[in-house]
Structure 1
């Protein structure tokens, strides 16, 4: 049962300059901290600015940002492998996409049969027979043998299908935007060679200079290049974008990227609620199902914090001196 909390327990909230999806998600995470975790204090960003959606140090050290023991263990295991998992954001920032990643894949990945069934159903690929291996925050150790840049994948799966080995690149978005990092893909010989050998994009040069789709393109290209180098006889790589159902921007970017592909089925977008629904329907035990329901509550069930959200938006409207007729906060 959630604790009875007031608006004051939720702490400092984002400025109105942030998008509605990010503000609402941060607010709900603030509610989850206070009502579900029972943590009535909150932390600060590196800049020193307090946020209700950041755990205070003691709660972070206790591992309260992780939904299950498997999630925390996945984080610790990845940390031992070296750079890639941000320890501060993973343990303290409740809106971190990296934390969502380990909260999702920690439990799923601990049961290979469960993970396999979820992937098969989400992708509608009954021909996927085995998940050979998977890695989070993945980049090849010798970048010079691949694409030579600093691109890193949220997760990379090697799967065995009825037709051979294939790759799955997972890009996960919660409240964060797509990377604005500029890399001269159009001037890269490695990308040009990949484009000519794999026929992934129908107009590679046009795709390479489009900054809107840059992150998705680089992630997809890296997955394709990894298989090209490591598994020369393997098939292609599918890009899988999982985003929050309230994040309409992510879908627009994905649509733009999909239009650049020779084979549009090589890019699949899924809403987080669909992913968790499939995980729940296939959960192998009552404890696994309970973990998934906890993720639904934390990341999707905004109605649980709606009454406080309405109180918050009313207060903001009053403080800004703007009437609801001229200024609407959703």
Structure 2
């Protein structure tokens, strides 16, 4: 599905058109009409402004000038069927062009086979999709757990010896045994450290905001019991009932319930082993080390099931956001204010994660992966000239 790309990361060929995003002599049309460059980049969302508009434009530019794709797609019919430069043409979406590596496409396909959880239209066709971002970021790390451990050690400032489980868009298969709602985690990761296993939930934002869906957790007896037993939140505090913190609280609560329930931990780890392929890129020395760590953890968890000496430290939540997004850190701050253990909440720009990937890369392939992610999601410089032209034309 990457037959047009010259290497495994899907990087464009040397003939990809105008990688700087402009043509010699290109200038705004004095009549105010879009130039040929802007017409190729494609339509933008009317009325959109701020970081979301800039992200959408960069992804439209990326489609044309890095992926080299002249055609663009449109929103779904129920959303108006509006042509948009930041949406891939259906043929290109079907060819996997929204994924930055073959590993990402494999992870997407594996997750689709596992059941409901990823949006097949947005994930394959919308260049601004946070789900596609999550897959593009984490797939190379999932296939190389040793690299994942190095990256997360630096990002979380703790010594991680192995990453023994990583799932995207994770929710328990039997919600009725947990908190009973539709909350799911962007990523759910099990870390092995010198002091024992630790849980990590990721919430990843790109051009989207925190969910506006608001559940009355204070009226849910399961959330009440979890708050009582962990002491992480006071659900009688009006701040915990506010809409801005609702999504982060629900995600943290789900991760905590999964982590502190021995039967949940054992079942999840068993799934990691059951889903592990018998051949392919996950069967190297690094993965065998991780498999041994998983085996040890399953044994420990099984031995401790139903006892009082099992793992008791609640999981950490890490929020990753675009560095130009000013709203995400504010929301994180509001949630930190209602969390009795604020050290369990971390926040980082996406640039922090990608920089750690680059700094800990130990092969040319890994360095290329990190560089491609930076071009795709963070470095707006090459599209600045076209963006300025768009702003002038659109004003």
Q: TM-score range by the shorter chain?
A: over 0.9
**Displacement of 1:54 after TM fit?**
0.1
Q: Does 1:179 align with 2:211?
A: yes
SS in 1 for 2:87: coil
Segment drifting more, 222-231 vs 212-221: 222-231
- Segment drifting more, 27-36 vs 178-187: 178-187
2:163 paired with 1:131: yes
Runs of 4+ in 1 over 6 A off after TM superposition: none
The answer (yes or no) to whether the contact 1:237–1:266 under 8 Å persists in 2 is: yes
Matches within 5 A, 1:110-259: 110-126=143-159, 128-201=160-233, 205-229=237-261, 230-231=264-265, 233-234=310-311, 235-259=313-337
Aligned counterpart, 2:45: 14
Once the 2 structures are TM-superposed, how far is the Cα of residue 67 of structure 1 from its aligned partner?
0.2
Which of 345, 348, 355 matches 1:267? 345
Q: Is the 8 A contact 2:64 2:70 kept in 1?
A: yes
Contact 2:198 2:315 in 1 (8 A): yes
Distance 1:45 1:207 in 2: 37
1:116-144 CA distances to partner (integer Å, 9 max, x unpaired)? 11011100001x22222111000001111
SS of aligned partner of 2:198 = strand
| Alpha-carbon contact 1:186-1:205 (below 8 Å) kept | no
The answer to whether structure 1 residue 66 and structure 2 residue 99 are counterparts is yes
- 1:29 and 2:59 aligned: yes
Secondary structure, in 3 states, of the residue corresponding to 1:186? helix
Q: Please name the residue that 2:111 is paired with.
A: 78
Q: Within 2, Cα distance between the matches of 1:199 and 1:129? A: 29
Aligned to 1:312: 390
What CA distance in whole angstroms lies between the structure 2 residues aligned with 1:162 and 1:218? 29
Task: State TM-score, norm by structure 2.
Answer: 0.78
| Contact 2:323–2:350 (Cα < 8 Å) also in 1 | yes
Gap regions ≥5 residues in structure 2: 1-13, 22-36, 266-304
Tell whether the 8 Å contact from 1:201 to 1:207 is kept in structure 2 after alignment: no
Match of 1:323 in 2: none
In structure 2, what is the Cα distance between the partners aligned to 1:129 and 1:198?
27
Say which SS state the counterpart of residue 252 (structure 2) adopts: helix
Separation of aligned partners in 1, 2:236 and 2:365? 47
Query: Could you say what secondary structure the match of 2:52 adopts?
Result: helix
Equivalent residues of 2:214, 2:247 under 8 A apart: no
